[in-house]
Each structure stands twice: as C-alpha cells, then as structure tokens.
Amino acid sequence: MVNHLGEIISTVQMDVTWRQVRMERTKWFKVTDLWYLKDRWDGLSTVQKGELNSFRLEMRDLPQTYSTANEAMDNFPEPQEWFE
C-alpha cells in the first residue's frame, strides 16, 4: 500500500501461477507487437528498438530462467513508459 506521499507503507505477498505469468506476458506481447509494424518501427530510435527487443526477450525467457511462477513474476521485466 502507498500513502498520500507516494511512500510504500506495506506490501502484500501472493502466490501466482504460470497461467497468470502467461496472461501478463500475453498482454505485453500484444501491446508491444504494434511497435513492430513497419511505419512505427521505422520511427523508433536505435535505443528504443533495443529496449523493446530486450523487454520481449526477457519475457520470453521467464519460463526457462525461473523454476517457479512466483520467481518469474518477481523478476518480470519492467516495461518502458513509451511502450503503451
């Protein structure tokens, strides 16, 4: 929970399933797929292209990198604000 100053005052731990991880990945793949359309891709800087490719690679590698869904979700890559 966050207070009115934006400070974290409590955290909640919960177990997640691989299905939930997959749903989160699917959501972000759909959002970022749009950046691969030629007209949008051509407008990205080299840095942005690298950020996008790295983000998607990290998402794809989650099941191979982490043995539990909780670990995968705890280490879910942070999307750039401009992705949306």
pLDDT in tens, 15-66: 999 999 999 999 999 999 999 999 999 999 999 999 999 999 999 999 999 9
Tell me the whole-structure pTM to 2 decimals. Answer: 0.82
Task: Kindly state whether residue 11 falls inside one of the protein's structural domains.
Answer: no
Task: Kindly state whether residue 1 falls inside one of the protein's structural domains.
Answer: no
More reliable by pLDDT, 14 or 61: 61
* Range with the poorest average pLDDT among 11-15, 47-51, 71-75: 11-15
pLDDT value, residue 10 = 64
Say how many domains are in the chain.
1
Query: DSSP secondary-structure letter at 76?
Result: P
Backbone angles phi, psi at 39, to 5 degrees: -65, -35
Which range of residues forms the domain containing residue 63? 18-83
User: Cα 20 to the chain's mean position, in Å?
Assistant: 13
Task: Kindly state whether residue 8 falls inside one of the protein's structural domains.
Answer: no
